[in-house]
Amino acid sequence: MTKIAIILGSTRPGRNGEAVAKWVLDIAKQRSDADYELVDLLDYNLPHLDEAVPPAMGQYSQPHTKKWAEKIGSFDGFVFVTPEYNHSTSGALKNAIDYLFAEWNNKAAGFVSYGSVGGARAVEHLRLVMGELQVADVRSQVALSLFTDFTNFSEFTPAAHQVDTVGTMLDQVVAWSTALAPLRSA
């Protein structure tokens, strides 16, 4: 069965992303089209990129990199849950992505973002990064506003229509992840 990681892309204390990622996982677990797993960057304790050899070479030397590579390599697709910080994604998520190369290739990705304008600019940047990593990013995006999907900017209270948007995004991620399977096995 297709395996999809829901990657929690914030390590900040008091992060809004934890509630968002668990909400996405709860919606995903009601489906039978793939196996879904929450992957929290906090569980990997990745320092700033500390590999001497570029990730495209696949010659990882650090135990934390090897652990991260094994986890990411086990998935067929991804849902990135990202905040928007200063018109981009979090430094922690970008750093985690930059650690690897082949483990991302020929897979699909969808995005759930949050911020004052729904995290749209964070996703714009992530789409560029995904292109370089040979990840097919899907069109449908879940953009959560700190003004309308959170109470007092911190309590996650998503609008009802967002559930359907998550479903559409997951449909696309699973379809593309499945379609790309022959490239991953080649």
The backbone torsions φ and ψ at residue 182, rounded to the nearest 5 degrees and listed phi first, read: -60, -30
Q: What would the mean pLDDT of 41-56 be, rounded to a whole number? A: 96
How far apart (Å, rounded) are the C-alpha atoms in residues 176 and 44?
27
Task: Please report which confidence band the pLDDT of residue 186 belongs to, taking 50, 70 and 90 as the band edges.
Answer: confident
pLDDT (0 to 100) of residue 13? 95
> Is residue 70 over pLDDT 90?
yes
How far apart (Å, rounded) are the C-alpha atoms in residues 55 and 32?
34
> Is residue 4 over pLDDT 90?
yes
Which token pair is 90? 């979090």
For the entire predicted model, the pTM comes to 0.97
Summarised one tens digit per residue, pLDDT across range 141-178 is: 999 999 999 999 999 999 999 999 999 999 999 999 99
Question: Are 84 and 138 contacting, i.e. CB atoms less than 8 angstroms apart?
Answer: no
- Domain holding 92: CATH number? 3.40.50.360
Q: Which helix (H) or strand (E) holds 49?
A: none
Total domains in the chain come to: 1
Task: Please report which confidence band the pLDDT of residue 77 belongs to, taking 50, 70 and 90 as the band edges.
Answer: very high
Q: What would the mean pLDDT of 70-83 be, rounded to a whole number? A: 98
Distance in angstroms between the alpha carbons of the first and the last residue of the chain: 18
Domain membership of residue 116 as a residue range:
3-185
Q: What mean pLDDT, rounded, does the chain reach?
A: 97
